[in-house]
A and B are shown apart, each in its own frame.
Chain A
Amino acid sequence: MMKKKELICISCPRGCHLTAERGEGSTGEWQISGNFCPRGAAYAIQELNDPRRIVTATVASDSRLLPRLPVRTDRPLPKRMIAPLLNRLYRLRVKIPVKSGEVLIDDVEKSGVRVIFSCNCKE
């Protein structure tokens, strides 16, 4: 018996429909088909083993112009860490000035992922 999973690649707007297969009970590599380019296979394997997403949000600030400052993770974060991170961000209130790219949280739950500001704010 083969184990089969359907996925849609989100690496580019083409949105290929992917099929991942491997032997029942096997822990070996998934066989991926349906991908138009190699990024699809890499995406599927990452998604099956350790799904991750870029997270974007806002944090409260003491700025008059931008009472909410946009922030984002600098790379995809493991999905299970998203909700705890959002809860943490929504409790923060940051002081300006900040610069785009400046680090707000250095290492989210030891994942190596950073949260950075995604805009400049001086006043």
Chain B
Amino acid sequence: MIEDRNVDVAVIGAGAAGLAAAAECADHGLETVVIDREELPGGILRQCIHNGFGLRYFHEELTGPEYADRVVERAAASGVKFQMNTTVSDVRREENGDFTLLLLSEQSGVTRVHARAVVLAMGCRERNRGNLAIPGGRPAGVFTAGCAQKLLNTEGMLPGKCAVIVGSGDIGLIMARRLRWSGVEVKAVVEIMPYASGLTRNVVQCLNDFNIPLYLEHSVVSINGRERVQSVDVAPLHDGIPILEQKFTINCDTVLFSVGLIPENELAARLGVELNPATGGALVDADYQTSVPGVFSGGNVLHVHDLVDFVSEEAARAGRAVIRYLEGATAAERNPVRAGANLKYVVPGYYARGRDTVFAFRPLGVWASAMLEAELDGRVIWKRRCSHVRPAEMLLAELSGQLLNAPGTLEFRLRPEQDEAAVEEA
């Protein structure tokens, strides 16, 4: 006999997103369970022992574990139930509109949860070497940066003695410093773009402080070694093509990849949730409701965030929408929202007339200053100047419902006003 449990809301993932959504629901008196495969709640925050979290949400600079402890305590105080060490292996929508989740755990084997609404908060996973197709052997010593971070920060395991980091995203930069502070040599960070993809402050504190060279517009063209990594070959890029005549070799025993994150949406796909190819996450309306009624999404599984504070805020909004849904409110109107010039995507993908909405974007380039504009039916209804625009930093636009007063298509775009180079010369 499979054990069954009935709840109002089932939240998949106990990271910052799941905890924020769950706390809202439980505060409202809904029976809410958060399910996570890890032993401790908090998600990716547990392994991020560096500071730089919570400036917006808690008005102080916290480390990842401190932020996690606070949001776990808040959820527990609201009455959220935790089901840890448990993987959600399947979700099904029943004919009556309720959901059945299939859970696996070492302790209780296979169990089921029946819920009236589901929040997808599974976070993201790292792109790895396989996604990049770098030639060379398959020696030991190749890790994703996040995996090395987890091993080092939660178990104290060093990945090697001497490392090269591929990709200059924030996780790679943070790991460069962590390795140096743990006695591991870091020979170089190699980035294909002409600018670092992480924050400038991380380039300064994590690379410049340690004189670690950053090779921009360079690519690792081969990883060498039979059993263990012995070296990598690096070449400059010209129009995206490596110039092999100029390649050079860096000796190292470890290679870390920090080349981007992908939302973890296998469960969403099984539910038949429509995905947005630009984000890799679900296509949602102003309520963060997916194409499947009763299924909501927030945090990194919806689109990859650079700041946890925004994850908490977004998922709390999703949690409040779950409450409205369970109280029988009609679904939000679905007028399309489009990402126009210089924007990679916009979330949510629909707007509802008269509804205050926070839109999130990823810019496609680096500009010292640019105008973010919203156009509804050929009319610019809102604009804001953004300084220091870069793909590493998400942009937000809060539009009041009064502006969103007509049906049609809402398009956001970014009009560059000033290049970075122009400012540095001035």
What A residues does B69 contact at CB under 8 A?
A: 100, 119-120
Q: A68-B155, A72-B51 are in contact. Are A17 and B424 (CB under 8 A)?
A: yes
Whether B271 is near chain A, meaning CB under 8 Å from some CB there, is no
Q: A53-B205, A65-B39 are in contact. Are A70 and B65 (CB under 8 A)?
A: yes
Q: Can you list 22 pairs linking A and B with CB atoms under 8 Å apart?
A: A8-B200, A8-B203, A8-B204, A10-B201, A13-B199, A13-B200, A13-B201, A14-B387, A14-B388, A15-B201, A15-B388, A56-B63, A60-B156, A65-B39, A67-B155, A67-B156, A70-B65, A72-B49, A72-B63, A82-B181, A100-B65, A100-B69
In the complex, which residue of chain B has the Cβ closest to the Cβ of A11?
B201
Closest CB in chain A relative to B392 CB, distance in Å = 9
Whether B209 is near chain A, meaning CB under 8 Å from some CB there, is yes
Q: Is the CB of B153 within 8 A of A58?
A: yes
In the complex, which residue of chain B has the Cβ closest to the Cβ of A70?
B49
Whether B66 is near chain A, meaning CB under 8 Å from some CB there, is yes
Whether A42 is near chain B, meaning CB under 8 Å from some CB there, is no
**Binary per-residue interface labels of chain A (11-32) against chain B in the complex, 1 for a CB within 8 Å, 0 otherwise:** 1111101000000000000000
Whether B40 is near chain A, meaning CB under 8 Å from some CB there, is yes
What B residues does A17 contact at CB under 8 A?
A: 424
Whether B355 is near chain A, meaning CB under 8 Å from some CB there, is no
Interface of B is mostly: helix
Closest CB in chain B relative to A4 CB, distance in Å = 15
In the complex, which residue of chain A has the Cβ closest to the Cβ of B62?
A118
How many B residues face the partner with a CB closer than 8 A?
Answer: 31
Complex CA distance for A55 and B209, rounded to whole angstroms: 13
Closest CB in chain A relative to B64 CB, distance in Å = 8
**Binary per-residue interface labels of chain B (37-66) against chain A in the complex, 1 for a CB within 8 Å, 0 otherwise:** 001100000000111000000000111111
Q: Interface size bucket, A side?
A: 20 to 34
Q: A56-B50, A118-B49 are in contact. Are A86 and B40 (CB under 8 A)?
A: no
Complex CA distance for A37 and B153, rounded to whole angstroms: 35
Closest CB in chain A relative to B235 CB, distance in Å = 28
Q: How many A-B residue pairs have CB under 8 A?
A: 77
What B residues does A57 contact at CB under 8 A?
A: 49, 181
For residues 201 through 258 of chain B, which have their beta carbon under 8 Å from a beta carbon of chain A? Answer: 201, 203-205, 208-209
For residues 340 through 389 of chain B, which have their beta carbon under 8 Å from a beta carbon of chain A? Answer: 387-388
Whether B108 is near chain A, meaning CB under 8 Å from some CB there, is no
Whether B154 is near chain A, meaning CB under 8 Å from some CB there, is yes
Q: A14-B387, A17-B424, A100-B69 are in contact. Are A56 and B200 (CB under 8 A)?
A: no
Q: A53-B205, A119-B66 are in contact. Are A68 and B154 (CB under 8 A)?
A: yes
Q: Is the CB of A53 within 8 A of B66?
A: no
Complex CA distance for A73 and B199, rounded to whole angstroms: 22
Q: Is the CB of B204 within 8 A of A119?
A: no
Q: Is the CB of B199 within 8 A of A15?
A: yes
For residues 80 through 123 of chain A, which have their beta carbon under 8 Å from a beta carbon of chain B? Answer: 82, 86, 90, 100, 118-120
Whether B393 is near chain A, meaning CB under 8 Å from some CB there, is yes
Complex CA distance for A53 and B50, rounded to whole angstroms: 12
Q: Is the CB of A118 within 8 A of B153?
A: no
In the complex, which residue of chain B has the Cβ closest to the Cβ of A64?
B39
What A residues does B49 contact at CB under 8 A?
A: 56-58, 70, 72, 118
What A residues does B66 contact at CB under 8 A?
A: 100, 118-119
Q: Is the CB of A66 within 8 A of B154?
A: yes
**Binary per-residue interface labels of chain B (290-323) against chain A in the complex, 1 for a CB within 8 Å, 0 otherwise:** 0000000000000000000000000000000000
In the complex, which residue of chain A has the Cβ closest to the Cβ of B423?
A17
